[in-house]
Amino acid sequence: MSLAYVSTRGDAPALGFADAMLAGLARDGGLYVPELWPTLSTDAIADMAGRPYAEVAEAVIAPFVGDAIPAAKLREMIREAYATFRHPAVTPLVQTGANRFVLELFHGPTLAFKDVAMQLLARLMDHVLAERGLRTTIVGATSGDTGGAAIEAFRGRDRADVFILMPHGKVSEVQRRQMTTPTEANVHAVAIDGSFDDAQALVKAMFNHHAFRDRVFLGGVNSINWARVLAQAVYYFVAAVALGAPRRAVDFVVPTGNFGDVFAGYAAKRMGLPIGRLVVATNVNDILARTLATGRYEVRGVEPTTSPSMDIQVSSNFERLLFDACGRDAQAVRRAMSSLSQSGAFELDEATLANIRMDFDAGRADEAQVSETIGRVRRETGYLLDTHTAVAYSVAERANLDPSTPTVVLSTAHPAKFPEAVEAASGIRPPLPAHLADLLSKPERLDRLPNDLAAVEAYVAERARVTRERAA
């Protein structure tokens, strides 16, 4: 049996796993979530101890996939996806203090946690598209890391064309080059005159423009895609079990922007993993920290920081949490989202905010705190944090967490992706790993477009094989 997925806005048909994955955003503008949370027994979680990452991944992911993909095929794709990682543990834990651990999620091909989900998602989508004889046109928005991971995972694949919209001039050089140097004809890097929020709004507008969506058979690989979030839930199990779960609870501190990663932790908790606190860590673009403190979700102008991938105001996956926290009242979600688009804000009612606070805390780190944390942690422990991880590390140090509970800080990027900021903070310029050694000397391919829906749609439609084949 396949689990059904429902839209947070309640006005789109429920879909099975494969259709929800191909759909990306629901047709009513909402996000797909499982209609119920599958749970794993204490024994099943205990049984994960000492198992390879791919086996844990299979145990976590299979209940959400059901019979949508044959079990042997799913296993094969999971094994292939995690064989692309350079560390045998895939996501190793490093101890940096008493009961404090860093979960390194950056050992995949593009040095950021996005590879964990994207390497699997590309294989899952390819499989379903091939079975159905379909091709898709993926349009994604990136503040730096999703784009590189998507291009890497889908480059050269016959069934998908990938268009990545990045905010012009606002990603690091390494991030940009990871998107602009691949030569395969099915991948396209596009700089938009605007912010990440503008790029994400364009992507959502394309999904909500049904004529365009159907014309190009639009697909999404941002965390609007449920399969992305699902694959990210796995490493919460891997880390917690290594630290004593299910006998013992573990706290997680998560560098947050679009709320996909920390929502994956929430999903793991709903599946039965004993997670104590989930701490949302933001940089000065602190909409989520403010929301948890005040109950008001209010968009302000985005400020550029040394953790550019988290320079986000409209935090897409918060909608998924809101849906659960307000008792799955799709009408309430629709009201909040309409207020957000009309006035840039919405208020959480008391019960919803209390539900959120049962699982989540939040904190912010400013630029001085990020820099100080990188320098001090390096001096005191020898460990070199990237800027995004440093946001979470700084928040973890100041959070009101039980010292007897292990705290895991998610390390979402390799420091070599942000060499200037890391060097300024620590005096150490981290080198790129060998497989990316020639990245900075390769020729780039990048188009630039205005922040204009019609212009971007025309660009995509002209280049997508789905539309070119139809026209031929």
Ligand X SMILES: Cc1ncc(COP(=O)(O)O)c(C=O)c1O
Ligand Y SMILES: N[C@@H](CCOP(=O)(O)O)C(=O)O
Q: Which residues here bind ligand X, judged by CB under 6 A? A: 112, 143-145, 223, 255-261, 309-310, 388, 412-413
Which of 73, 114, 204, 269 is catalytic? The answer is 114
Tell me, what DSSP letter sits at residue 430?
P
Q: Quote the least distance from Cβ 233 to ligand X, whole Å.
A: 12
Count the site residues for ligand Y by CB under 6 A.
Answer: 13
What is the length of the chain? 472
Residues 120-159: x/- map of binding to ligand Y (CB under 6 A)? ----------------------xxxxxx------------
Q: Which is nearer to ligand X, 137 or 285 (CB)?
A: 285
Residues 117, 78: Cα–Cα separation, whole Å: 10
Could you confirm whether 73 is annotated as catalytic? no
Residues 35, 16: Cα–Cα separation, whole Å: 10
The interface partner of residue 142, options being ligand Y, ligand X, none and the CB cut-off 5 to 8 Å by kind, is: ligand Y
Of residues 296, 262, 298, 263, the one with CA closest to residue 281? 262
Q: Which is nearer to ligand X, 144 or 182 (CB)?
A: 144
Could you say which of 109, 260, 272, 415 contacts ligand Y (CB under 6 A)?
Answer: 260
| Cα Dmax for the chain | 65
Q: Quote the least distance from Cβ 385 to ligand Y, whole Å.
A: 17
The answer to whether 259 and 362 have CB atoms below 8 angstroms apart is: no
The answer to whether 192 and 186 have CB atoms below 8 angstroms apart is: no
24 binds ligand Y (CB under 6 A): no
Backbone phi, then psi, for 138, in 5-degree steps? -95, 125
Residue showing tokens 């009242």: 329
Q: Which is nearer to ligand Y, 155 or 376 (CB)?
A: 155
Could you say which of 108, 219, 257, 375 contacts ligand Y (CB under 6 A)?
Answer: 257
Piece in contact with ligand Y (CB under 6 A), picked from 21-29, 253-261, 292-300, 374-382: 253-261
CA distances from 210 to 29, 215, 225, 267, 341 (A): 11, 8, 17, 30, 19
The answer to whether 275 and 265 have CB atoms below 8 angstroms apart is: yes
Q: Rule CB under 6 A: which residues touch ligand Y?
A: 142-147, 222-223, 257-258, 260, 309, 316
What residues are annotated to the active site? 114
